[in-house]
Amino acid sequence: MAITAKEVNELRQQTGAGMMDCKKALVEAEGDFQKAIEILRKKGQKISASRQDRDAKEGSIFVAISNDKKQGYAIELNCETDFVGKNSDFLALGQSIIDLAKNNQITSLDTLLDAQLEGITIRQKLEEAMGKIGEKIDIRKLEVLEGEFVYGHLHTGGRIGVLVAFSGINGAKNLEAVAKDVAIQITAMNPIAVDKNGVDQSIIDKEIEIGKEQARQEGKPEQILEKIAIGKLDKFFKESTLLAQEFVKDNTKNIQQLLKEHGNDLTVTSFKRLALGS
């Protein structure tokens, strides 16, 4: 049957797919718009299947904070090229997905993928976007954080995203400003835990073994290797845990001291750091 340019343009406006793709879909669907949309989505599914072995490590991190600032949400939406990662449609899709997660308090990736956006699931939305863009697109991670106060930060054009949860906020001074400083610290220094109590025992054991071997290579007596390794472990905690780290803006204080300046009980309870492609 004959397909008019008006029909093709209308389908293109609805789906964002290319003109020729829309025309072919309408021809195949014999003018039925809903069937044509399904055909375009199936094209996205085919693209997805054919690109499973492709690396999708570009894209952007998206962050959203609830209105009461007690929950934070972050996703990593991936594509194959930096060009697509900066595309306005791709960025709009990511913003819609993170807003959906926040507004519906979604805490698992599977639940998010099955959630409805504009009448279809997020899985279908991703397939639709793949059909239009021609690259593999997926959500690698969803992170959710809760606390008395949660702050979100995006860095380097969305290549790194941070969520930080605080407690002891009552009476704290300049909470937003210090929260931003802490988020920047996490961005720059990539701590492995809030403090030494949050470091996995396997990491501690590994660091002790490394410290002992280093001391052994230096010719230190076997009976004092453990003591030397413990000393090195203290340095590791100082460099690798958030509250003990030197503040990147002022190395005369650590993060715990910075927080104390803004509130006697103010501290960080947890954080999440997403780096694109990692």
Q: What is the structure's pLDDT at 252?
A: 97
Q: What is the structure's pLDDT at 47?
A: 66
Q: What is the structure's pLDDT at 42?
A: 80
Could you tell me the pTM of the whole model?
0.83
As a residue count, the chain comes to 278
Q: What is the structure's pLDDT at 57?
A: 86
pLDDT tens by residue, 140-182:
999 999 999 999 999 988 999 999 999 999 999 999 999 999 9
DSSP-derived letter for residue 198 is G
Which domains are seen in the chain, by residue range?
Answer: 5-50 (1.10.8.10), 54-146 (3.30.479.20)
Distances (CA, A) of 266 to 92, 145, 160, 164, 179: 36, 17, 25, 13, 10
Closest to 38 in 3D by CA, of 120, 135, 118: 120
pLDDT, average across residues 251-274? 97
pLDDT tens by residue, 99-131:
999 999 999 999 999 999 999 999 999 998 988
Q: What is the structure's pLDDT at 131?
A: 84
